[in-house]
A and B are shown apart, each in its own frame.
Chain A
Amino acid sequence: DLDASLGLDEEVKVTKRRKPISKLDEARLLSAPGIPKLRADARSGKFSKKLRLKGKGHEFSDVARLLNYYQLWLDNLYPRAKFADGLQLIEKVGHSRRMQVMRKEWIDEGKPGYVRD
C-alpha cells in the first residue's frame, strides 16, 4: 500500500497536447510586424512614395495598391487568415479597452504640441 500511496507503481500518463493554434490577438497585433510596422511606414513620410501612389485622377488604381499593401502586411503578420477574415479579427481586437487607450494615444502623438508624459 505504501507503493500505492507514494504512487510508485502508477504509470505516468503522458497526454499529447495539441499544438496551440496561434491567434490574432492583441499581443500579435502589437508585435513588431504588426501595428508598429504600420506606424513606422506611416510616419516615415514616404508612404505614398513607397506605395507608388499616383495621386489625383488615379483613385481606383491607388486604392488597389493601398489594399494590396494591407493584404501583404496582414499576410506577413498572420498568414493563416484570408484578407477579409483577418480584417474582421483585427477589428474585433480593436474593441478591447487596452487597444482603445492605445489607439487614442497614437492619435494624440500625432497632434501638434504633444508632450510625452
Chain B
Amino acid sequence: FSKAQTVHPEVRAYVYSLVNALGGSSTDDDGHYVLGDDALACLRDLKRWLKLYDEKNNRLDVARCLAEAKLVGGDLVPILASWPEDGKENKLKARVALACLEVLVPLTWPLETTGEMTLNHHRHTPYIQQAQVIYKAAILGCDTSSILRQVVRIGLPSIAVARDERTSRDEGILKLLLYFFRNIAVIQQVPNLPSQGLDSEVSRSATIEAFRDQDVFALLLTICSNMGEDFNLQDVIVLDIIFNLIKGVDPKRLWMTQQQRKSQGITDLGAALAVEESKNRATKKHQWSRHGRFGTMLWVKRDGEKMSAVSGQDNLKGDQQALFNMDKSKKWSKPQQKRRDIDHTIHDFDHTTHLTDPASEKLRNFVDEFLDSGFNPFFTHLRKAIEREAERLLDVNYRQFFYAVAWFLEAERIRRETQKKEVKPDKVRDDFTDESYSIVAAVLNQETFIMLNRFMQVSLDNKEWQDLNACMRCFTQVLLTVQEMVQSPLEEDQEIADNIQNRIFYEETTHDRVVEILRGYKDQGFGYLDACTELAHVFLRMLERYSKENVDMQIRSRRRAKKKRKEEMRMAAQPGDDPTADDEDSENEDIADVVQVSKERKFDFNRFAAKFSTQNSVNTFVSLTTFYRDLSIEQLKRAHRFFYRVAFKQDLAVLLYRIDIIALFNKMINGPDGLDKRHAMYKEWSEFARQVFKKMFKKIDQRPELIVEMLFSKINSTLYYLEYGQEKQTIAAS
C-alpha cells in the first residue's frame, strides 16, 4: 500500500502545494497561525478542485488528499479561530472565514454507503468517514476559540437583512451555515470502522453542549420562531439538524431532575444486576456438582421400548433437564433468514442514545424554548411545504418530519406531567397548570391528519417500513396527546379533543389500516415491531373508551357504499331497460353519489376488536413477547393486555393453543431463562399463563382433535367449532 496508488500523483501534488501555500504557524509570532500571501485565492482554488474534479468526475480523490494533508485541523480551524472578535470590519478576514466555510461544508458532507458507488467511492469512503470524525473533534474541541460561534458570525450580516432585501448570495450563506451545522450534527463514529478514541469528543452529548454554548441553539430558535416571516427556505435544513440532534433520545430522561436521574441510574443498574444475578442463579442451579470428567450417563425411556442416552450429571435432576439436554445436543438448526442491515444509515432513529447530565439539561432548555415559541410556526410551515411537495424536500425529510412531530409531542406531554407534579404541592404557580394545548396546535388539525393518513397509506403500500415506523409513532403520540387533552381542566381543550377524536375515529379506513399494519408484521425489525404494537394497543384502548362514552358513534365506511353503487350500476346496465327508466337511473346515480359520501353506520366495538383477534396479530405479539427478557414493563404490559383480550374477552383462546406459543409462555414463567420472579410483571403473566393452560386442558378433554390442531395455525373455518363445539349460526337472509 503506497499513497501514490490511491490518488493520481499529479492531483496530490497540486492539492498539497495549495494546502502548503495557505499559511502556517509562524516561528517568531509565538506559533500563531499566519495566513499566506494569497490565502484567499488558495481557498478558492481548493473549492474549485473539490467542485470541478471531485464532484464533476464523481470521485473523492481531492477530499482524500485534503484529509491526508490535515487541512481542517491544521489550517481551517486555526484560521477561523484567529478571526478576532472585534475584527468585524476587517473585510479580508471575514472573506477568508467565509471561504473556509465554503471548503468545510463539502468536506464534512455525510457520506452514505448506499446507492451507486464507484470504485473510488469504495476506496475512499471509509478513510474519509474516519477523517470526518477527526474534523468534528477538531472543530468542537478547539481550545482557543469557539469555531461554531465564529461560523454563526459569518452568517449574521445576512440574517440581519430583511427577507425581501436578501440577495441570493445572502441566502446562499445562510444555507451554507445551516448545512455546516447539519453536517456537524450528523457526523459520528461509524459503527463498522475502528474507533479512534474520539468517541466522547464527537458524541451527541458533546454536540449538544457545543451547540448550546456556542449559540447555535439560539440561532436555530430564532429561525424556527420566525419561520414563514423572516425565513422561508431554511425549514428543511433546520428539520434535518433537529432530527439528528433528537433521534434516539428518550424525552423522559430530559425532564428528570438530577436526583431522579441519579436514582434512575441506580435503579437501571439495579435492574441490570438483578437480571445478571437471576442468570447466575439459573446457571448455578444446573451446574455440575462434580468435575467435568465425572462421567454420568443415563437413559430416557420412551414409547415402544425405545431408549435415548444422555450424559451429564445435571440430567439426574429430573426429566425436564434431560429432555432439555436431548434437544440441545442436536447439531442441525433451521437456517434463519438474515435481516438486511438497515440500521447503520444516518436516517435511522431506532437506536437509543444516552446523554450526559449537562447535555440533557441543555437539550431540555432548547426543547422548552422550542415548544414555547418555535413549534407552531416551524411545523406549520413545513407541513405546507410538504403539501405543496416543494422541490427542496427529499424523501427522508418526510420521515424526519413525522419523527420530529412525534418526539416533540411526547416531550410536551412529559413536560406537562413534570410540571403538574412540581406545582401541586406549593400551589404558587396555579395559573401555569392550566395552560392550553394550543402551543402544539399546529399538528393537531385536520390538514395534518389528512397528510399523516395519506403518507401512512403510501408507505404501507410501498413497503417503506422505516417511513411507516415514523408515521406510526406520530399517530400514537397524537392519540396520547388527545387523550391528555380530554382530561384538561380547560373546557376549550376538551371540546377540541372531542372533535379530534371524532374525526380520527370517524373514518373506517383508519381502523382498517391499523389492523392491517399489525397483521402484516414480518421481519421489519424491533423498532418497527415496537411501534406497530404500541399503536395497536393505544388505538384499541382509546377507541374502546370513546365508543363507550359515545354510544351512538357513527363511522364512515366506504367499501359498502361502493358495492352498493356497483350493484346499481349493474342494474342500470341491464339490457331491456325501458327508455323511461333513464331519468330514474340518473336519479339513482345521484342517490348513489350521496350514499358514497355519507354512508354511515353505527360503530360496533366488538366487531372491531374481533378484527384484532386473528392468528396474524397474535403472531405479531408473540414475536414481541419472545424478547421478554429485554422488554420494558410497559411493553410487557402491552403484550399481556392483548393476549388477555384475545383469550378472555374475545373468547378466542384457541388462537393461543399452538405449541410454540404455549412453550413460550411456559418458558417465560418456569424457565430456563424465564422472567425474574421479582419482576414487576411476573405475577400478572404467571396468572395469565395459568389461566390459559387451564382453559387449554379443559378444551383438550372436550375435543381431542385439538391435540393435532395444536401443531398448526388455526383455519378460520374450524376456529369457531374448536372454541364453542358447534357450528357458527349464520343469520339466514330469509
CA distance A99 to B700 in the complex (A): 21
B705 and A89 contact, CB distance less than 8 A: no
Provide the residues of chain A in CB contact with B709, threshold 8 Å: 103, 107
- The closest CB in chain B to the CB of A111 belongs to B721
What residues of B have a CB within 8 angstroms of the CB of A35 in the complex? 708, 711
Q: Interface residues of A, CB < 8 Å — how many? A: 48
Residues of B contacting A63 with CB < 8 Å?
662, 666, 693
Inter-subunit contact B302/A76 (CB<8 Å): yes
Which residues of B from 664 to 682 have beta carbons under 8 Å from A?
666, 669-670
Query: CB < 8 Å: which of A42, A48, A84, A109 contacts B663?
Result: A84
Q: Which of A45, A82, A90, A103 makes the CB contact (< 8 A) with B715?
A: A103
Cβ contacts under 8 Å, B82 to chain A: none
The smallest beta-carbon distance between A91 and chain B, in angstroms, is: 6
Known: A47-B700, A53-B697. A60 touches B666 (CB 8 A): yes
Q: Quick check: which of B69-77, B104-112, B324-332 contacts chain A, the rest being far away?
A: B324-332
Distance in Å from the Cβ of A56 to the closest Cβ of chain B? 7
Q: A59 to B693, Cβ gap below 8 A?
A: yes
Q: Which residue of A lies closest to B727 (CB)?
A: A111
Q: Is B707 an interface residue (CB 8 A)?
A: yes
Residue of chain A at shortest CB distance from B694:
A59
- Smallest CB gap from A48: residue in B: B701
Asked whether B658 is an interface residue with its Cβ less than 8 Å from the other chain, the reply is yes
Q: Is B717 an interface residue (CB 8 A)?
A: yes
The distance in angstroms between the C-alpha atoms of A43 and B707, with both chains bound, is 10
Within 8 A of A (CB), among B685-710: 689-690, 693-694, 697, 700-701, 703-710
Binary contact readout A74-113 vs B (1 if CB under 8 angstroms, 0 otherwise): 0110011111110111110011000110011011011100
Chain A contact residues: helix, strand, loop or mixed:
helix
- Smallest CB gap from B665: residue in A: A63
A100, B715: Cβ atoms closer than 8 Å: yes
Contacts of A43 in B (CB 8 A): 704
CB-contact partner of A76 in B303, B333, B705, under 8 A: B303
Q: B535 an interface residue at 8 Å Cβ cutoff?
A: no
- B707 contacts A38, CB within 8 Å? yes
Residue in A closest to B322 when the chains form the complex, CB atoms: A68
Contact B666 A107 (CB under 8 A): no
In the complex, chain A residues whose CB is within 8 Å of the CB of B663: 67, 83-84, 87
Q: A42-B705, A90-B711, A103-B712 are in contact. Are A59 and B718 (CB under 8 A)?
A: no
Contact B705 A107 (CB under 8 A): yes
Is B5 in the interface zone, CB < 8 Å from A? no
- Cα distance, A103 to B707, chains bound together (Å): 12
- The answer on a CB contact under 8 Å between B660 and A87 is yes
Report B307-341 residues with CB < 8 Å from chain A CB. 308, 319-320, 323, 326-328, 330, 332-334
Decide yes or no whether B380 CB sits under 8 A from chain A.
no
A41 to B304, CA, bound (A): 13
Residues of A within 8 A of B319 (CB): 68
- Seed contacts A47-B707, A56-B694, A81-B334; 7 additional CB < 8 Å A-B pairs: A38-B708, A60-B669, A81-B332, A91-B658, A91-B711, A100-B715, A109-B705
The 14 sampled A-B contact pairs (Cβ below 8 Å) are: A47-B704, A48-B701, A60-B666, A62-B693, A62-B697, A68-B323, A70-B659, A72-B303, A75-B327, A80-B330, A80-B332, A85-B334, A94-B711, A103-B715
User: Contact residues of B with A, CB < 8 Å?
Assistant: 302-303, 306, 308, 319-320, 323, 326-328, 330, 332-334, 658-660, 662-663, 666, 669-670, 689-690, 693-694, 697, 700-701, 703-713, 715, 717-718, 721-722
A residues contacting B by CB (< 8 A) are: 35, 38-39, 41-43, 45, 47-48, 53, 55-56, 59-60, 62-64, 66-68, 70-72, 75-76, 79-85, 87-91, 94-95, 99-100, 103-104, 106-107, 109-111
Give the top 4 A-B pairs by smallest Cβ distance, nearest first: A94-B712, A85-B334, A42-B704, A42-B707
